[in-house]
Amino acid sequence: MRGICGFIHIDGQVVAPDELAAMQGALALTPWSVATQEVSPHAALAEVQWAKQPRHAEQRGIARDPTSGCVVVADAHLRDKTALAKRLGVPAHHPDTNNDAALILRAWQHWREHALQHLDGEFAFAVHDPRRQVIFLARDRMGIRPLYLHLTHGRLLAFASSARAVLAHPRVPRDLNEARIADFLVTQLEGIDKTSTFHAHVQRLPPAHCVLVDRDGARRQRYWSLADEPASSVARSDDEWAEALRDALQAAVRHHLAGHRAGAMVSGGMDSSTLAALAAAELRSTGMGPLRTYSLVDSRSPNSETRAVHAMLRLNGFAPRLLDHASVGAIADATWQHAWQCEEPFDAMMLPLHAPYFAAAADGEEGVLDGVDGDMPFLVGNGLARRLRRGHVLETWRNVQGLARTYPMGPTASQQFLQVVRRAVVPDWARTLRQGWRPSASHSTDETDGIIHPDFAHHVDLPARLDGLDHWTARMPHWSARAEAEEALDHPFLTVGVERYHRVAASHGIQPLHPFLDRHCLGFYLNLPDRQRLQGGWTKAVLRRAMVGRLPELVLRRQDKQHLGWARTQALLQRHHRDVVERLQAQQELLRPYVAPQAIAQALATPLQAAADSDDWALLFNLATLANWLDRQSSPGQTQAKVQRTLAFEN
């Protein structure tokens, strides 16, 4: 795994040695980090390798063409490199055929900006082309690899795999973007967009976007969308759909295992268990293995997730590491320390994941397979109403019966059926008419649970931000399964989730691997019929069928969403209760402009033995980590925080 960084002085200023060194230092996340760089008079590009294992020359993330002077730095894992090399005319046994950066450089020289149409896989890269006096940056289609930018028009472009590394450049202002602090305090706003960061002068390059920067400015464009993805081969029977999905996921897992020492998360759910089973089978077929797996368990009391984990790990082909909530020691201590070093406040709630990533790094792994993104592709959405509109009354009734059995505390089958009937029979024109009668402002500052300071909510125009989040979701029900799938897979919620996992894993030198988001699976999801998403009340019906005989029955038939992440966080909080309270007491003044006084008082009053389902622990931890993060952003040269973004692109 690696991070990349670099900059170009558009105004012709000469590169100073300390500029690149500072950015590289911010990317050196592990004691064994190794940096490589290419420096010219006005531009500097670098990679920082995080892997413990020695890397061969063909795995370097920097490539330079001595004739043209073009340089590429890339955090990439391309798919079908052999086919790409052949299209580029690279001889079969040439070292470049296995080097992602070298192939990207050749693709740039051959196709220029159109190279992105020929690249498949995960990537974030920058090309400096001194002949044209341009720098070109791009990010992969689903945003698996991150890329952050700062641009001062006519003067400086800086980029890196993390916002922290961009901010390390001495000419990048560190002003805060206070609107993003509001997003943290109103949790759902984390997914408001795909560009903003906690700093006013740093942005994320969105997935499937590229930007070309020269003396005349920056031109950003989207080079791909889900709507461009062709239909996958149409399968007919349930068994054919299941086989097609299994084949697509197996190929995706094979791609992610290639070139990595990789382990796998196993939570006992369908998604992570599917990937682990396919990965173990792939390793067995090549004479490798076993697959190292990492699981959070809780021995303190019986729970469905721990039972499912144990059932899963009784299969052949695994070398399991179990991380128990009740345990103490080096991993627990290291996990706790990471709470106070997170790059973004959002990352603090990922605290439990530090344990498996810490263990994976200690085992020498470079990547870890994760099924966290396995829900979005199989969302049911408006599928029940669509099926009912097509006359599948009995099927709809059986589905709501199954859902009622799975969730007995929710609406009854009859209540759910009536809701589906209403949704199916009410015409869209009636919905439009009803919505037209509503006030134009659909949100208010009353939706924040009293956490955000009212003056601050007004300052950032919180209702407008909530409305902005709503714009990612259609106001009318979807009557096309594909349109609904495109909306779900394109929502910023998926992007920010992937980015959060990357930041946490990267702090241990680990690359999180996401086979569910492989491009070759996307066409399958987009064309998946509603019947394959929900059948007999069973969600992810096609995935369950695909894994029959490959997963334990306990996992295949698991419907609950119990997850031990918060339980582990709460166990750590109870163990370190005094530390959290003392931190918040010492730094609470930093929160005063943003957080309502009563929320701070409530957090500080959280008792040590708070109820297991209490929100008090979450409030205490969130405010303590936000205050800690704000304290770490302050510096003697810090200018007053602003609610603004300075990156502007010409579309």
Binding residues: 100
How many DSSP H helices and E strands does the chain contain? 26, 19
Determine the Cα–Cα distance for residues 375 and 539; give it in Å rounded to an integer.
Answer: 10
Determine the Cα–Cα distance for residues 508 and 366; give it in Å rounded to an integer.
Answer: 9
DSSP letter for each residue of 565-590: HHHHHHHHHHHTHHHHHHHHHHHGGG
452 close to 596: Cβ distance less than 8 angstroms: yes
Determine what percent of the chain falls in helix, strand and coil, rounding each to the nearest 5.
45, 15, 35
| Structure-token pair, residue 70 | 């073009």
Residue 549, phi-psi category: left (phi > 0), alpha (psi -120 to 50), beta (remainder)? left
What phi, psi does 97 have (nearest 5°)?
-65, -20
Determine the Cα–Cα distance for residues 426 and 433; give it in Å rounded to an integer.
Answer: 12
Rg (CA), the chain: 25
Determine the Cα–Cα distance for residues 309 and 323; give it in Å rounded to an integer.
Answer: 11
114 by Cβ neighbours in 10 Å (0-12 / 13-18 / 19+) ranks as exposed
| Structure-token pair, residue 412 | 């009854």
Mention every residue, 6+ apart, whose C-beta is less than 8 A from residue 216. none
| Structure-token pair, residue 140 | 């992969």
Q: Which amino acid, one-letter code, is at 546?
A: A
Determine the Cα–Cα distance for residues 515 and 553; give it in Å rounded to an integer.
Answer: 23
Determine the Cα–Cα distance for residues 235 and 444; give it in Å rounded to an integer.
Answer: 47
| Structure-token pair, residue 506 | 């990267």
Binding residue ranges for L-glutamine: 100
Query: E strands within 169-325?
Result: 203-204, 209-214, 217-222, 262-265, 291-297, 318-324
Residue 568, phi-psi category: left (phi > 0), alpha (psi -120 to 50), beta (remainder)? alpha
Residue 472: which of 458, 486, 457, 460 has the closest Cα?
Answer: 486
Three-state secondary structure readout of 271-314:
HHHHHHHHHHHHHHHCCCCCEEEEEEECCCCCCHHHHHHHHHHC
Residue in the structure block whose two tokens are 């990937």: 275
Could you say which DSSP state residue 202 is in?
-
The sheet carrying 134-139 orders its strands as: 62-64, 71-78, 121-129, 134-139, 209-214, 217-222
Find out whether the peptide bond into 290 is cis, omega within 30 degrees of 0: yes
